[in-house]
Structure 1
Amino acid sequence: MTAATSEQPAFSTPVEPATWVQHAGTVPETHAYPAVDELLSLFRELADAHPGLVTERRIGTSTLGEPLYSFTVSDGLAAEDEGGYVVVGGVHPNEPVGAVTTLHLATALCEDPELRAHFAGAWHIVPCIDPDGARLNEGWFATPTDKQNYGRYFYRPAGDQQVEWTFPFAYKKAWFDRVLPETLALMRLLDATRPRFLTTLHNCEAGGVYYYMNRPAPELYGVLADIPASLGIPLATGEPEAAHVPLYAPAVYGCIDMKDAYDYLEGLGVDAATRISGSSSAAYTERYGTFYFVTEVPHWSHPDADDDTPTEERYADVVRRRARALAETGSFLGGILDAANPHLNIPSPFLRAVRDFVPSLAELATMESTRADDLPDRPATVSERYDCAASVHSFRIRFGGMLLRALHAEVVAGTATPEVRRRHRELLKTYETWERAADPATGDPIPISTLAGIQYAALLAAADHARAGGSEQSTGDPG
């Protein structure tokens, strides 16, 4: 992967709101995600090529001691100037589409003076805020269409180790102040820049495209639907990630708010204070009136993702089936983990993650069963049925894959007891059946340039909304 360095501007179309859809097709073709070192090298090549436009700035240090960087693109504006735009990649290290998006955005801003002039502010771009976690996913970055590689080399940190969900939080009985070094670096950047616009770059696994924003923006909904449609990718109109998020338009949601999550869990009879860690970057920047925006793009697309045709099954029954599958998955993985736990000697990140995630499956199954009892008596849509099934496949591949990595670490280190080896073989056998079942359900791979193009065009449209005044009204608590 190389940064675009053509002498012509990156865009020939006028920079007008109606043209944002056209920008989705401007990302160069690539067949791999850049590793951390390669990504930073490409940004530095861009900075060397445009010394008057790009400024590299260290913003912090990772948990393992790696420097964290932001690259500011601006026409003579200081890195500390307020009211600009902040773009953050790698907030979840298993979501690398943002690496390609950040590089393309920085390149476009350098090569197109009209684009810079239109936004009239500094862009602060963080290529990867969690390099420690990203390095643990690099085993599949080079072969992103290989679903087996994806699962076998997958890593996602435990909830209280995720940058996006470790901002300070205090609500009712919940209190969180174990801020990660990476989160602190991001907090400092946000405090220094007080941005009018913030986007953290995310991607999901299968289905269609969907969005989050911290307040309604009806003028954006049409273009947000048109951008993926222009490249033949569906919206995700089925089940939301969280049942408590507000729906603004098809596939457009309000942000996942931890206060809302607390109240929702409390209403289900769950001890919410034990299930919630920190808050998000969206909540943190409410104090500045920032317009926060997320585009979730899937690695794989499936035609059922936006099919709102009623099925022959009741909606509640589909949710209950999902709950049963989650309970069964949690029981199996929990049994493997419980049997191996006394014999495990290596406190790997994979082990920390599964010790957090695997018990949550039983809790999620219980919550889904409770939710099903209160659902309206209507047929499930094809997209709802798809999302319920796809989420089970995702949990199996993700959590099962990380447990395999935790047990394999003991095997290759020579510390595995016969019990650990036995449980590793047992898990691998079941995991292979999960892989075969998940393969057709996840759908067909989407080109990286398409995913990054959707993310890029959507963030430009949303940033333009913020530029035009869409961020002026804060709806949050400045405290």
Structure 2
Amino acid sequence: MRTLDTRPARYPTQAQAEAAARRLALRHPDRCRLREVGRSRAGRPLLLLSVDRGPRAALVVGGPHPNEPIGTAGALRLAEVLLDRPARPGLSWHLLLCLDPDGAALGAGWLDGPLTMGRHYEHFFRPSFEEQPELLPAPDSGRPPMPESRALTDLIDELRPFLQCSLHGVDFGGAFVQLTGPVPGLSERLARSAERAGLPLDLDCYDAIGWPSPAPGTYLMPEPGSGPQALPDEPELSTWSYAARYGAVTAVLEVPMWAVDAVGDARPHPAAAQAVGAAARALKARAEELSALLPYIPPRARDEHAPLLRTAEFNLAVGPGMADEWLERWPAQPLTVARVTTAGLVAARLPLRVASLLLRLLAGARGPGAQAARERARAVVSDSLDQLRHRFGARWVPVQEQLAHQTRAVLSTADLLL
């Protein structure tokens, strides 16, 4: 693989990304074009940047989750790299800059200042599952697909891609890939790329517990109904699997913002049951503590910041169930350091997300108890950040290294499938 540009970089805002895409289209009119392929629920444009015109199409989805700005940055960097190389005969690339621009707008404040852990959560937003555009409603749910979801499935129907890459990022952990089908040789390339970027491979990722893992950091999405599945419970109800009707492989590529080296530790944990039990009890206690703050949210904030409230309530609802599953099932099996670390990260991260959202929702609260509620939420944020920094040793991964790994991963996947 070619050495990629590793200039110092930041995540672009939506406006910056759209402006950069327009400049590329103007600068390379023979190879590059930009078009609108849909609108978000709030009317924001969904922009597709296409490079070259071959019949074999590779589709890249940027910005599927608003708390993972690497996706939009990665789509732009990939376009720059492709345009710096000769066109490959018969191949075209189609880069969706941001699948969830409405969500991105709710978390954009982080991108304008120092990229610190504290500021990230001060501006945190990630929608509940039913509002994530890559997840499609069940046929019997009575819910229509969101406009963003429909735009993406329409695009898949139009392009009939051989490859779909979804560009994701994790806040804490390691690099990994989830695949709808095997890509021989990819695991080895990803391992080399992660090593170059100074990233651990996530050996027991929470998003893929129970999924087949043919190599470290590589997970194959199970066939529907074939076995235990982590969240989302039904990966077949997703735009990842939708592309399979055209023979496409989807690669969900994950890169961490803050690396935690212990997620790459395959050794047996010496006291797994105790550690997992402590994490589960802590998560349940935090969920109960933060749930008690919900009544202090003023009516106006409930109306004006309804997406934030739905996200907070969603996380508070799922957290105790996750903890119960750990207590019921995990102690009966030997667990690695990686799996126990994963549980600890979830137990620290989920309350951190909720408490951060509550601080935004409680900002204008008045009356008895409101200030105490804010102080309680701040204490949870402070304690969670302290755990992540010091107990788990979370370390910032420079944006240029995140971009370099993700771009290498996309190009490697396409190269191997071709």
TM-score computed with the length of structure 1 as normaliser = 0.80
Give the superposed CA RMSD: 2.6
2:8 aligned residue? 29
1:164 lines up with 2:158 in the alignment:
no
Of residues 430, 439, 442, the one that matches 2:389 is 439
Structure 1 residue 289, shift from structure 2 partner: 0.9
| Alignment partner, residue 156 of structure 2 | 190
Is residue 334–residue 359 contact of structure 1 (8 Å, CA) maintained in 2? no
Judge conservation of contact 1:336–1:423 (CA < 8 Å) in 2: yes
Hey, what does 2:314 align to over in structure 1? Answer: 356
Q: Residue 135 of structure 1 aligns to which amino acid in structure 2?
A: A
Separation in 2 of the partners of 1:238 and 1:264?
Answer: 13
Which piece of structure 1 moves more, 428-437 or 388-397? Answer: 428-437
Which residue is equivalent to 1:62? 40
The CA deviation at 1:290 is 0.4
Aligned residue among 118, 122, 127 for 2:97: 127
Q: Which moved more, 1:207-216 or 1:339-348?
A: 339-348
Q: Secondary structure at the match of 2:354?
A: helix
Q: Which residue of 2 aligns with 1:385?
A: 340
- Asked if 1 retains the 8 angstrom alpha-carbon contact of 2:276 and 2:344, the reply is no
Give yes or no for contact 2:355–2:380 (8 Å, CA) kept in 1.
no
| Larger of the two Rg values belongs to structure | 1
The reply on whether 1:448 has 2:418 as its aligned counterpart is no
1:278, distance to aligned residue in structure 2 (A): 8.6
User: Which amino acid in the other structure matches residue 391 of structure 1?
Assistant: V
Paired residues in the alignment total 416
CA 1:276–1:382 in 2, change beyond 3 Å: closer, same or farther? closer
C-alpha contact 2:134 2:238 (8 A) present in aligned 1: yes
Partners of 1:209 and 1:264 in 2: how far apart?
Answer: 20
Residue of structure 1 in register with 2:85 after alignment? 112
Kindly state the Cα deviation for residue 151 of structure 1 after the two structures are TM-superposed. Answer: 1.0
Taking a change above 3 Å as real, the CA distance of residues 437 and 126 of structure 1, as seen in their structure-2 partners, is: same
Equivalent of 2:20 in 29, 39, 42:
42
Q: 1:258 to 1:182 in 2, by over 3 A?
A: farther
- The DSSP-based 3-state class of the residue aligned with 2:292 is helix
Distance 2:300 2:47 in 1: 39
Amino acid at match of 2:60: V
Deviation at 1:418, TM superposition (A): 3.7
Given residue 159 of structure 1, which amino acid in structure 2 is its aligned partner? F
Deviation digits for residues 325-351 of structure 1, max 9, x if unmatched?
221121111111245477854341211
Structure 2 residue 170 is matched with structure 1 residue 201: no
Worse overlay, 399-408 or 289-298: 399-408
Cα displacement (A) at 1:370: 2.0
Task: Look up the equivalent residue of 2:88 and give its one-letter code.
Answer: A
Deviations 1:99-157 (A, max 9, x none): 221111111222211xx216x32111011111111111211124464111011111001
Q: CA deviation at 1:256?
A: 7.0
Structure 2: how far apart are the matches of 1:109 and 1:343?
48
Task: For structure 2, list consecutive stretches of 5 or more residues without a partner in the other structure.
Answer: none
Which residue in 2 is equivalent to 1:473? none
* Conservation of the 8 A alpha-carbon contact between 1:33 and 1:142: no
CA contact under 8 A between 1:144 and 1:150: conserved in structure 2?
A: no
Residues 134-192 of structure 1 show CA distances to partners (whole Å, capped at 9, x for unaligned) of 11121112446411101111100111111122x2434xxx6364311111111111110
- Paired-residue identity, %: 27
Matching of residues 6-405 of structure 1 within 5 Å: 19=1, 22-23=2-3, 25-30=4-9, 32-75=10-53, 77=54, 83-113=56-86, 116-117=87-88, 120-143=90-113, 145-165=115-135, 167-170=136-139, 175=141, 177-255=143-221, 259=225, 279-313=237-271, 315-338=272-295, 340=297, 345-348=302-305, 349-373=307-331, 375-376=332-333, 378=334, 380-405=335-360
Quick one: which amino acid aligns to residue 316 of structure 2?
A: V
Deviation at 1:403, TM superposition (A): 1.8
Distance 1:257 1:101, change over 3 A: farther
CA-CA distance at 1:239 after TM superposition: 4.3
Unaligned runs of 5+ in 1: 1-18, 266-271, 468-479
Look up the equivalent residue of 1:153 and give its one-letter code.
H
